[in-house]
Amino acid sequence: MDIIFLGGLKIDTVIGIYDWEREIKQTVILDIEMAHDIKKAAATDDIEDTLDYKAVSQHVINFVEQSEFFLVEKLAEEINHTIRSTFNVPWVKLTLNKKGAISGASDVGIIIERGTK
C-alpha cells in the first residue's frame, strides 16, 4: 500500500467548549496519511493519475476554517470523512494537535484511522 501524506498543516478555526473559545480562532495542526495506489502516476508522470495533495490540503483548509465544532473528536471525524468521500480515499489516518490546550503539555490531540488499507 502506498501513502500520500500532509504533515504539519496549520489551520485557524473556532474549536472548544468554553465561552472564550467560541469567540476566538485557535490553531490546529494536522498530520494526514491517505492510502492511494501511486503505480499509475509513477508510470505516466501525470498529476491526473494521483491524489493531488494540494487539492486535498486546500479542501481541508477551507473546511476547517469554516467549521465551529466544540470537540476535537468531532472535527477530526468530519475532516476524515470529507477527505474519504470527496477524494475517494479508502483509508485515512489523521492526527489533530491542539497545541496549548493543556497547561504544561506541549501537544494535545487525537489520532483516528478510518477505512481499510
Full-model pTM: 0.94
Grid cell, residue 77, equals 471525524
- Domain total for the chain? 1
Tens of pLDDT along 18-49?
A: 999 999 999 999 999 999 999 999 999 999 99
- Reported as a single tens digit per residue, the pLDDT across 50-90 is 999 999 999 999 999 999 999 999 999 999 999 999 999 99
Q: Using an 8 Å Cβ cutoff, are 84 and 114 in contact?
A: yes
The CATH number given to whatever domain includes residue 62 is: 3.30.1130.10
CA-to-CA separations, 96 to 35, 39, 40, 45, in angstroms, rounded: 18, 29, 30, 32
- Let me know: does 68 contact 13? Beta carbons within 8 Å: yes
Sorting pLDDT into bands at 50, 70 and 90, what band is 1?
confident
Output the CA torsion sign for 29, 109, 1, 55: negative
**What is the span of the domain harbouring residue 46?**
3-115
Q: List the catalytic residues.
A: 98
